[in-house]
Structure 1
C-alpha cells in the first residue's frame, strides 16, 4: 500500500479519510489506544479471512471507506470488490493501491447489485450504524455463495461501559432510520450483544463458526488508560491483551469492547 501525501486541492472526503489513515495505517497519532485497537481488529479480521479462504477467492468489502482492508486483501492475493456509498473515495483508494485486483462498485449496499456472489463478505464496523441490523445481515447473506462466509466486526454491546440500547429491546427501530449510515462512534445506533448476534444470524440462515472478543480497557485507551501508553512498553500492552483473552467468556464479555464473528452461509 502506497503512502500518500495530502494536497491542498484534495476534496474534503479525502482529507477526512487521510486523518484516519494517520491513525490506522501510518501510526502517527497521540491516540495510541485507537491505534492498538485498530491493529488488533485488523489482525483478527485478516486471520479469519485467511482461515476460510485462499488467495484468489472473491471478497466483498462493504462500506469500505478509504479502502485499507480492500488494499491489504488485494495485496494478499484476493480478488476484492470495494463498496461504499461515497463514490468520490474511489480515486483516493486508487492513489494508495500498489498491486492486486480491486473492483469498485459504489452505492448503498441495500440497493446495489453485483455480477456474482462472493466467497467472503467483510462487514467491518458497519452493523452498529444501521437501524435494522437483522435486515442488514439478511441482505449481506444474499451476496454470499452457498457455503461462503461473512466476517463481521462490531463493538461489543456487553462491554461494561456501553450505554447504547439493545436492538432486541427496541420496539420500533424505524425511528433511527434518519440517523443511520453516519460515520464514527457518533453514528452508533445499537451495540449488539452476543445473544442478539446469534439470533439475527439464525434468522438469516447463518451459522456462527467462531466469535472473538478483544480490545480490553487498556488496549483501547479508555478510562484515561491512554496515558499509560507513554510509559508502558508495547509488549506489556500486548501481554495485557493476551491475559484478558484467556479469561472465562463471561468475563471477556464485560472487559472487551470489540468482537469479530465468523459466519457460514447455510442458504442453498
Structure 2
C-alpha cells in the first residue's frame, strides 16, 4: 500500500480520509488512543478473514471508505470488491493501490445486484450506523455464499461508558432512519450488546463462529488515560491489553470498547 501526501487541490472528502489515514496507517501520534484501537481492529479483522478464506477468495468490503482493509487483503492475494456510498473516494483509494486485485463498486450495496457471490464480506464499523441492524444483516447475508463468512466489527454496546440506546429496547427504530449512514462516531445510532448480536445473527440465517472483544480504556485513551499513552511504549500498552484480555468474560464485556465477530452463513 502506497503512502500518499496531502494535496491542496483534493476534494474535502479526500482530505478527511487522509486525516484518518494519518492516524490509522501513517503513524500520526496526536490521538494515540484512536490509533491503538484501530490497530487492534485492523489486526483482528485481517486475522479472521485469513482464518476462514485462502488467497484467491472473493471478498466484499462494505462501506470501505479509504480502503485500508481492501488494499491489505488485495495485497494478501484476495479478489477484493471495494464498496462505499461516496463514489469520489474511488480515485483516492487508487492513489494508494500498489498491487493486487481490486474492483470498485461504489453506491448502495443493496442495489448493485450482488447475489450470494462472495466468500467473505467485511462490515467493519458499519452496523452501528443503521436504523435497522437486523434487516441490514439479513441483506448482507444474502450476498455471501452458503457456508461463506461475514466479518463484522462494531463498538461494544456493553462497554461501561456507553450511553446510546439498546436496539432491542427501541419500539420503533424507523425514527432513526433520517440520521442513518452518517460517517464517524457522530453517526452512531445503536451500540449492540452481545446478546442482541446473537439474536439478529440467528434471524439472518447465520451462526457465530468466533467472537473477539478488545481495546480497554487505556489502549483507547478513555477516562482521561489518553495522556498516559504519550509516555508508555507500545510494548507496555500491549501488555496492558493482554492482561485485560485474560479477565473473565463478564468483566471483559464491560471494559473493552470493540468487538469483532466471525459469522458463517448456514448452508
Determine if the TM-score, normalized by the shorter chain, exceeds 0.5: yes
Q: How does 1:150-169 map to 2 (within 5 A)?
A: 150-169=150-169
Find out whether 1:235 has 2:235 as its counterpart.
yes
Report the 3-state secondary structure (helix = DSSP H, G, I; strand = E; otherwise coil) of the residue aligned with 1:137.
helix
Report what 1:76 is aligned to.
76
- Taking the aligned partners of 2:189 and 2:110, their CA distance within structure 1 comes to 18
Q: Does 1:199 align with 2:165?
A: no
CA distance in 1, matches of 2:88, 2:230: 37
Deviations 1:62-84 (A, max 9, x none): 00001010000000000000000
1:26 matched residue in structure 2:
26
Contact persistence 2:45–2:260 (CA under 8 A): yes
The normalised TM-score by structure 2 is: 0.98
Residue 42 of structure 1 aligns with which residue? 42
Offset at 1:114? 2.7
Question: How far 1:115 moved relative to its partner?
Answer: 6.9
Residues 131 and 177, structure 1, Cα contact 8 Å, conserved in 2: yes
Deviation, structure 1 residue 232: 1.3
Compute the displacement of 1:158 (Å).
Answer: 0.2
**For 1:264 and 1:134, how far apart are their aligned partners in 2?**
16
- Alignment-derived partner of residue 260 in structure 2: 260
Q: Is the 8 A contact 2:33 2:226 kept in 1?
A: yes
1:211 corresponds in structure 2 to: 211
Asked whether the equivalents of residues 59 and 80 of structure 2 are also in contact (C-alpha less than 8 Å), the reply is yes
Aligned positions of 1:75-154 closer than 5 A: 75-114=75-114, 117-154=117-154
Q: CA RMSD in A?
A: 0.9
**Greater displacement, 152-161 / 221-230:** 221-230
| 8 Å contact kept, 1:74–1:80 | yes
Q: SS at 2:264's partner residue?
A: strand
Q: SS at 1:93's partner residue? A: helix
Aligned residues of 1:110 and 1:136 also touching (Cα < 8 A): no
Alignment of 1:57-68 (within 5 A): 57-68=57-68
SS class of match (1:218) = helix
Structure 1 contact 63–84 (Cα < 8 Å) conserved: yes
Give the total of aligned pairs. Answer: 267
Q: Distance in 1 between matches of 2:261 and 2:33?
A: 22
Give the Cα separation in 1 of the matches to 2:80 and 2:256: 30
Q: Using the alignment, how far apart are the partners of 1:233 and 1:2 within structure 2?
A: 26
Deviations 1:243-268 (A, max 9, x none): 111111010000000000000000x4
Distance 2:234 2:104 in 1: 37
Deviations 1:126-155 (A, max 9, x none): 000000000000000000000000000000
Large movers: runs of 4+ above 2 Å: none
Unpaired runs of 5+ residues, structure 2, are: none
Equivalent pair of 1:147/1:265 in contact (CA under 8 Å): yes
Structure 1: any 5+ residue segments left out of the alignment?
none
With the length of structure 1 as denominator, give the TM-score of the two structures. 0.98
